[in-house]
């Protein structure tokens, strides 16, 4: 039997704010001479104005395209001279710029990060190139079954809701966009009142605050304070339950099964995390053991509640061999229905799921980047500072009844939507026997 786990303590997050509203947080984690800066902007693709899908992502992509007199190339030369790992990442609720450097380059890194985020040049010639590359990317996505499925599925679930499109947008919306749209979006959405700078790793708070004040002190924005919440539009009502994007001769079908479900602030969060672990969140989950280890239909199947500020999707995803498509859908839906009560989680399953989430929890907090990303979750979802300290206790308290109850509350098999990207000639007949009516065939370029 394994011995008791040594207790783990999340470091105290030291917090300050600059006069312009920028929150500055430090998570000290000495050891390796590296510091990870994470700049969170609480506006993401959900902030895209209707008809301008992709604007937030284009804006994020334009941030490192030069600043002041510095060209895009010169900006990247400067980053490379620091050996910096630079990245921008965009989701529905947030835009994140991250920069990890050797400690000795911390001051120069923050200077560059502020030029990138607060003072990007946003030149027309760079915009045209960046947009063109994104249009090419959209063209290429048409051949990627997984990307095609993700894109079509979000639109099916959310329709015109702010979560109904991928950050990249559409050909029509990108084509309609102008450099002025990007400039206006940058001024309104990317500003200190909705931003948090997190430094994690080999650093101390006083130094971070001083360097941040030097780099970001004169950053202003034109919008009001704090209006970071996207208005919730109505999620579309029940729809046809089965959709196919044809991919002739595909050896596998790319599957998505899901529905709009819980938001990050649901009081059921911990119970849903446990429930999902058992259903499809780990290797030994019900769905993976069924589809992969029992039937050999797939390399892997998994489920997730994608928690967001507004109600996020619950999604099952798997690539299954073409001949097993209908069977995989049937089994998946039966597993989802089962865990709501017909086949409640057993004591052993519950114990295993909780142990998997809690006993090795400390391994999530090893690198500077992990500490930075953890603090980012607190900032983005307004979680308390003791969230990580409390996680294990909260998860350990989840019961089998609670799992059934929250799965019943947040999942409804009658509302599950299924999308298949696959060979309709081969599987079409088989799919009609699922009892979901005639599958709705979507053209590959419909989105």
Partner 1 sequence: MNISFSKHTLANGLDVLLHEDHGCPIVAVNLWYHVGSKNEQPGRTGFAHLFEHLMFEGSQHYDRGYFEPLQGAGATLNGSTNADRTNYWEIVPSGALGLALWMESDRMGYLLPALTEAKFSNQRDVVLNERRQNYENRPYGLAPMALLAALFPPDHPYHWTTIGDIADLQAAQLDDVQAFFRRYYRPANASIAIAGDINREDALGLVRHYFENLDPGEPAGPVRASASLSGDARIRFEDRVELPRLYLAWLTPAMFADGDADLDLATDLLANGKMSRLYRRLVFDERIATDVSASQNSREIAGYTQITATAAPGYALAELERAILEEIARLAQGGPTAEEIERGRVQAESQFMLRLQTVGGFGGKSDQLNAYNTFLGDPAYFDRDLARYQDVTAASLQQAVARYLDPARRVTLSVVPQGRAALAAPGSEPAAPS
Site for partner 1 in 82-111 (CB under 8 A): 82-85, 100-102
Binds partner 1 (CB under 8 A): choice among 59, 155, 252, 311: 252
Beta carbon of residue 71, minimum distance to partner 1 (angstroms, whole number) = 10
Q: Based on the shown chain and the rule CB under 8 A, indicate whether residue 76 belongs to the binding site for partner 1.
A: yes
Beta carbon of residue 49, minimum distance to partner 1 (angstroms, whole number) = 27
Binds partner 1 (CB under 8 A): choice among 13, 72, 177, 411: 72
Beta carbon of residue 65, minimum distance to partner 1 (angstroms, whole number) = 9
Q: Based on the shown chain and the rule CB under 8 A, indicate whether residue 323 belongs to the binding site for partner 1.
A: no
* Residues in 7-46 at the binding interface with partner 1, rule: CB under 8 A: 7-8, 31-34
Q: Based on the shown chain and the rule CB under 8 A, indicate whether residue 81 belongs to the binding site for partner 1.
A: yes
Q: Where are the alpha helices (DSSP H) in 177-310?
A: 179-189, 205-216, 269-276, 286-288
Piece in contact with partner 1 (CB under 8 A), picked from 143-151, 174-182, 211-219, 382-390: 143-151
Which two structure tokens, joined as six digits, stand for 7?
A: 């207790």
* Residues in 279-318 at the binding interface with partner 1, rule: CB under 8 A: 282-284, 289, 292-299
Q: Where are the alpha helices (DSSP H) in 342-397?
A: 347-358, 368-381, 387-396
435 burial (CB, 10 Å; 0-12 / 13-18 / 19+) is exposed
Binds partner 1 (CB under 8 A): choice among 44, 54, 145, 169: 145
Check if the beta carbon of residue 361 is closer than 8 Å to that of residue 391.
yes
Closest to partner 1 by CB, 393 vs 408, is 393
Looking at residue 63, the DSSP 8-state letter turns out to be T
Beta partners for residue 41, in sequence order: 95, 195
Distances (CA, A) of 215 to 110, 252, 444: 6, 51, 46
Piece in contact with partner 1 (CB under 8 A), picked from 135-143, 187-195, 308-316, 375-383: 135-143
Which two structure tokens, joined as six digits, stand for 425?
A: 């000639």
Return phi, psi of residue 289, to 5°. Answer: -65, -40
Binds partner 1 (CB under 8 A): choice among 17, 107, 133, 238: 133
Q: Based on the shown chain and the rule CB under 8 A, indicate whether residue 361 belongs to the binding site for partner 1.
A: yes
> CA-CA distance, 325 to 431, in Å (whole number)?
8
Beta carbon of residue 183, minimum distance to partner 1 (angstroms, whole number) = 21
> CA-CA distance, 152 to 49, in Å (whole number)?
20
Piece in contact with partner 1 (CB under 8 A), picked from 38-46, 163-171, 319-327, 412-420: 319-327
Q: Based on the shown chain and the rule CB under 8 A, indicate whether residue 393 belongs to the binding site for partner 1.
A: no
CA 93: distance to chain centroid? 9
* Residues in 171-210 at the binding interface with partner 1, rule: CB under 8 A: none
Closest to partner 1 by CB, 80 vs 160, is 80
Closest to partner 1 by CB, 4 vs 267, is 4
Beta carbon of residue 109, minimum distance to partner 1 (angstroms, whole number) = 11
Determine the 3-state secondary structure of 259 from DSSP: strand
Closest to partner 1 by CB, 74 vs 229, is 74
Q: Where are the alpha helices (DSSP H) in 259-346?
A: 269-276, 286-288, 325-337
Q: Based on the shown chain and the rule CB under 8 A, indicate whether residue 319 belongs to the binding site for partner 1.
A: yes
Q: 242-246 and 440-441 as β-strands: parallel, antiparallel, unpaired?
A: parallel
Residues in binding contact with partner 1, number by CB under 8 A: 73
Distances (CA, A) of 87 to 36, 71, 90, 125, 245: 11, 18, 10, 22, 32
Q: Based on the shown chain and the rule CB under 8 A, indicate whether residue 51 belongs to the binding site for partner 1.
A: no
Which two structure tokens, joined as six digits, stand for 269?
A: 């969060």
Beta carbon of residue 435, minimum distance to partner 1 (angstroms, whole number) = 26
Beta carbon of residue 100, minimum distance to partner 1 (angstroms, whole number) = 7
């Amino acid at each position: 039997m394994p011995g008791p786990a040594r207790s783990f303590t999340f470091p105290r997050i030291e917090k300050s704010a600059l006069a312009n509203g920028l929150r500055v947080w430090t998570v000290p984690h000495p050891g390796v001479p590296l510091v990870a800066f994470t700049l969170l902007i609480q506006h993401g693709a959900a902030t895209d104005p209707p008809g301008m899908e992709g604007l937030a992502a284009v804006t994020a992509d334009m941030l490192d395209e030069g600043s002041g007199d510095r060209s895009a190339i010169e900006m990247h030369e400067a980053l490379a001279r620091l050996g910096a790992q630079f990245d921008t990442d965009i989701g529905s609720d947030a835009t994140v710029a991250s920069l990890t450097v050797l400690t000795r380059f911390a001051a120069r890194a923050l200077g560059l990060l502020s030029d990138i985020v607060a003072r990007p040049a946003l030149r027309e010639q760079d915009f045209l190139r960046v947009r063109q590359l994104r249009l090419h990317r959209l063209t290429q996505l048409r051949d990627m079954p997984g990307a095609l499925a993700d894109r079509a599925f979000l639109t099916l679930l959310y329709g015109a809701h702010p979560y109904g499109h991928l950050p990249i947008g559409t050909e029509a919306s990108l084509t309609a966009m102008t450099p002025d749209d990007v400039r206006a979006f940058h001024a309104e959405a990317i500003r200190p009142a909705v931003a948090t700078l997190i430094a994690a790793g080999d650093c101390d708070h006083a130094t971070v605050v001083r360097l941040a004040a030097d780099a970001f002190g004169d950053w202003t924005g034109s919008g009001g304070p704090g209006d970071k919440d996207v208005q919730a539009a109505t999620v579309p009502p029940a729809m046809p339950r089965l959709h196919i994007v044809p991919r002739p001769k595909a050896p596998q079908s790319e599957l998505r099964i899901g529905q709009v479900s819980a938001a990050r602030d649901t009081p059921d969060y911990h119970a849903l995390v446990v429930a999902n672990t058992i259903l499809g969140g780990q290797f030994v989950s019900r769905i993976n053991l069924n589809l992969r280890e029992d039937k050999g239909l797939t390399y892997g199947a998994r489920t997730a509640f994608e928690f967001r500020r507004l109600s996020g999707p619950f999604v099952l995803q798997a690539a299954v061999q073409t001949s097993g498509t209908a069977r995989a859908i049937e089994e998946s839906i039966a597993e989802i229905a089962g865990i709501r009560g017909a086949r409640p989680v057993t004591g052993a399953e519950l114990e295993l799921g909780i142990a998997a989430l809690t006993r090795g929890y400390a391994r999530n907090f090893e690198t500077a980047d992990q500490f930075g990303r953890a603090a980012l979750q607190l900032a983005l979802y307004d979680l308390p500072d003791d969230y990580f300290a409390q996680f294990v206790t909260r998860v350990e308290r989840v019961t089998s009844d609670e799992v059934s109850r929250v799965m019943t509350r947040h999942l409804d098999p009658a509302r599950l939507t299924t999308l298949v990207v696959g060979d309709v000639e081969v599987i079409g007949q088989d799919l009609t026997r699922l009892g979901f009516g005639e599958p709705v065939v979507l053209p590959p370029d419909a989105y």
